[in-house]
Structure 1
Amino acid sequence: MNWSSIFGFSVPVEESIVRGTVTFFVVFVLMRVVGQRESGGLGLTDVLLVVLMSEAAAAGLQGSRISSVSDGTILVATVLFWSVSLDALAYRFPRIAGWVKARPRPLIEDGTLNRKVMLREFMTYDEVMSQLRLHGVDELASVERAYVEPNGMISIIRVPGPSPD
């Protein structure tokens, strides 16, 4: 067994850090552009973290000649560093949170659909109505507000009044 091929670095550490950093931010920006509904029930950074960490660790786990366990570890540590750093910055500085964290988008206001949000999230009228029915709402007029949440779910605030059965 050749221990140096398992734990040695096949590329300089700095290169692994730069590669991990660039990849993290490119995928992060692309996922922000795609929209909130595409990430499912997870937050954007959760999805990004899982995808990048699994890819970074894969080469080291497979015993690739190109990458060692140490290379994969550096990439995983870099991705984790940026994920935690962005979350900490967003927590500490609310202005940065608007750039880093997704915000709820108003889908329905006073019973009226927001077509811009529907277009941005690639939602059809039938999909919106399906989501309303899942919340026990059968008409737009009974919705005061509805939002596409950062995790892709739809939250609904009904018009005040008697609640349905």
Structure 2
Amino acid sequence: MCRMTNAFNYMELLQINLAELFRTETPVLELVLRASILYLGILFLLRIVPRRTGGELATIDLLFVVLIAEATTHSLGGYKSITEGFIVILTLMSLNYSINFLSYHSPLVEKLIAYPPLLVVKDGKLLRRNMRREFLTEEELMEHLRREGIEDVRDIKAAHVEADGHISFISKNGDR
């Protein structure tokens, strides 16, 4: 009798309701709207923070990775079905593709999405106002210079904080 009960419990655990697994409880349009609002909202918020905050990823790439991870997390447990997670992921992928497509073909969209390079050193002089905009201290700038093998800021013709947060240098003698 005990074996029969254990076998019944195991059979009960192995039952999967595929219809329930793929059934959507939230309306599809609501899922698309939520994903779109989150994507555009976070894109806007990431656009107003200093570019060095994003690290090595471009802002749009960081946003995409974060939201895909979030949607995947919900599809594993927060949503009631895998279908809802896939709808959100498909929406995010479509938005990401569309924004990249538009930014490639439209300078206006590119300007709204991507940071232009920010000059922080010009002809060996620190542009402190621009450094302050990026929360770049003189010590951090000097660390980046040393990593490039440059000992003195006066040897720099120009230094820019790029869209991905890296600092690029052009030396006065043109070797970098």
Regarding TM over 0.5, the answer is: yes
Matched residue type, 1:53: I
Between the two proteins, the alignment pairs up a number of residues equal to 161
4+ residue stretches of structure 1 with deviation over 3 A?
A: none
Q: Of the candidates 50, 56, 59, which is equivalent to residue 65 of structure 2?
A: 50
- How far residue 125 of structure 1 moved from its aligned partner, in angstroms, is 0.9
Residue of structure 1 in register with 2:137 after alignment: 124
2:97 is the alignment partner of 1:87: no
- How far residue 135 of structure 1 moved from its aligned partner, in angstroms, is 0.8
Query: How high is the TM-score relative to the length of structure 1?
Result: 0.91
Deviations 1:42-77 (A, max 9, x none): 111111111100110112223x4x432111111111
Q: Of the candidates 29, 38, 59, which is equivalent to residue 53 of structure 2?
A: 38
Q: Of the candidates 149, 152, 155, which is equivalent to residue 136 of structure 1?
A: 149
Q: Does 42-51 or 15-24 show the bigger shift?
A: 42-51
Tell me the distance in 1 between the aligned counterparts of 2:132 and 2:94: 34
Q: Of the candidates 35, 40, 59, which is equivalent to residue 74 of structure 2?
A: 59
Matched residue type, 2:27: P
Query: How high is the TM-score relative to the length of structure 2?
Result: 0.86
Tell me the distance in 1 between the aligned counterparts of 2:112 and 2:80: 34
The alignment yields a C-alpha RMSD, in angstroms, of: 1.6
- How far residue 5 of structure 1 moved from its aligned partner, in angstroms, is 2.4
Residue of structure 2 in register with 1:115 after alignment: 128
Which structure has the highest helix share of the two?
A: 2
- How far residue 116 of structure 1 moved from its aligned partner, in angstroms, is 2.4
Indicate conservation of the 8 Å contact 1:59/1:68, yes or no: no
Tell me the distance in 2 between the aligned counterparts of 1:57 and 1:77: 11
Unaligned runs of 5+ in 2: 1-15
Tell me the distance in 2 between the aligned counterparts of 1:59 and 1:11: 13
Residue of structure 2 in register with 1:25 after alignment: 40
Residue of structure 2 in register with 1:5 after alignment: 20
Matched residue type, 2:60: T
Unaligned runs of 5+ in 1: none
Tell me the distance in 2 between the aligned counterparts of 1:110 and 1:68: 59
- SS of equivalent residue, structure 2 residue 119: strand
Q: Of the candidates 57, 67, 75, which is equivalent to residue 88 of structure 2?
A: 75
- How far residue 117 of structure 1 moved from its aligned partner, in angstroms, is 2.2
Matched residue type, 1:155: S
